[in-house]
Structure 1
Amino acid sequence: MAQLKTWTVVRFLSENSVEAVPTYWIKFSEKKCYWSPYKSPQKLTKAISNQEAPSDNWDTYSVEFFQGSGNYESYEVAVEKCEAAKYESDLNSDIDNIALQNNEQRKRTSFPPKRYLISSSDEERSESDLQRSPSPLKKKRITVISNKMITPPLPPTPSSSSLFLGKDRSSSSTNTADCVVPDDVPLSLPQYNDNLEQNKTVVTTSRTCESCNSILNEVKAIKAVVLKIYHKQCITDQLQKQLSDDVNNGIKMMEKCNNPSINTKSFNLFDQVELPANTQDMLNQWELFLEITENYTSSVTQLSAIGGNTLYDFIKRLLSKIMKDSVAQNFNMSGRNNKNNFKETKTFKLLLDAAKTHRSVHTEKDVEIAVGSWLRRAKERHEQALKSIRIS
């Protein structure tokens, strides 16, 4: 079943104006009402009569309800009740009687509520837009004590939050129930008194100065807080910059330590020990050199950078820099046939780590096969070298 369209008469507290609005524009739990942002009276009336659905850009305003107010199924009836509500708080009163009693009051000039003047950019707004519904008539408020006019109390001094952050549109109006005199009651006003007027001026000026001093003190306090926040922010920025510089320096140091090309510049293996070894004693000195952890690590880094097209090519280039064939022919990978076991030497472990650093895909078995193949050919290479020397 489709929802029944109804209208409700409400009073907008911020402008003290009365309107007939679609019932579902009202948020009853919060006592607030949506209001269309249209600046054209025709579009606004059409939105209300057609019950246009509120959107996200619509503002809400605080409202109050009238005694006897209900939900009217006809927009025309709601408009009549709206006119009655401008003069009576009870909407059950006779509309015709109210219109006759207040015929003269309706002729007074009125101005549109602020809700109709949200934006000043619409230059096409006609003067008829300003002649909206008349604002409710206000009764005279006069305080009389012993036939002397007393200046009504000044409004409360606005707080700093209302000055800088703006005040809520929906704040309720102040209570003015001191002494209300209807228009039809004659009053005997006191005669003009120069001394009284001077006293009123002094009191008003004094109160105004006190208000200004109070506001000035609050502004100074806010300024002091802002300066403290600014100083703390400056200190935070300096600490953040210093921390960023420290982190960058740490990263550069780590990159320098992990870069093999930088380490090899400060460490040259061939300046530390005599290579390639052409005797067993020289090879033993090389083995003792590798026992030192720092020497071993630096040697792995430098030798892994030599490179080679294949694993055998890589092993051949390394071993040719470490030992001569005359020494290599005395080794094999098992220690059989009265030869030394090369697998038990520190040099083999060095070759294994250098190969894995060069290419991580190399396994220990691959390195062992390549080294064994090079050692088996050491005797043949040595004899060919001797033969070449004899011929020359």
Structure 2
Amino acid sequence: MAEDWKKRLTMYAIVTLQDSDEVVLAPTNWLSLDKKQCYWPPFKSPDKCMEAVQNRIKPETGGKPWEKLNISFHREYFTFDMAKEGQKETKELKERSYLLATGFPGMLKRQRLECTQEMLKQQLPPEPSASTSRMPADADKDELLQMLRDIKSTVQENSAMLKKLLKDNTVSEVPSSTSIPPKDVKTKLKLPLRTIKDVARIERMLTKNATTRQKYVKCLSRLGGFGQKDVIKNIMQHLLTDELASKFNWQGRGNKKPFSKLILTDVIRDAALKQSVTRIDCDAEIKNYLWSISDRIGRSRP
């Protein structure tokens, strides 16, 4: 009896789609009994998809069941709002794990210690009191997460600068009498790309020449935008025509090509990082952009 009551109340689950590594909400009636698979709607619009989740509609279209995707199950919640909060926390935890895995933990610890020592030099420590002896848990978590983001960005920028300095130093050490002037790579950034052949050509150029890649990163990072969604939208529209973008999706399902496999995707990530957009957020916004491209094309046609 208690189990039946719990099943009726438990309405939403947080899961990770293994194909796209995306943390999403799903009604519990979409999950398989072993919680290893989940029905997922074929809708192109993210808003329509979220509406289907919130309303817990039956996982089928025209009597035909939706495709089942492999998932990693996290937890369940009674209400949609509680599940949304849980989804946010899970994403933050996942992002923090990624930063710790790729951001040189020893350097993180050392930089945080140096930062603390510098603050202590500049100001006297406040008198301890019962009201200020403890920081709120949420504020401490947000502060740590922001610090990890800042440090990761700094480490990547320093790495890029170090590579450039080493390269310049190697060239300068060659004797002038035997040195050969480096061939100037005159890369014409013919954007936006319009055909699959254009994409293949750019992929070959990016594979062969690191200078070309840096030129594209520099060009795309200057586009800017208000927030991560706007940054990725500006990059994608500058890089691909809508017609060409409609021939891709993230994993290459159906008769479309996989955008996640392109070297161009790494270029977008590097450009977005210069605008403080993390890899996880960048991938999510690219998926949303490719998902909704057909709707934009339809609206633009008379």
TM-score (norm 2): 0.37
TM-score (norm 1): 0.29
Relative contact order, higher structure (CA 8 A, sep 6+): 2
Higher share of residues assigned helix: 2
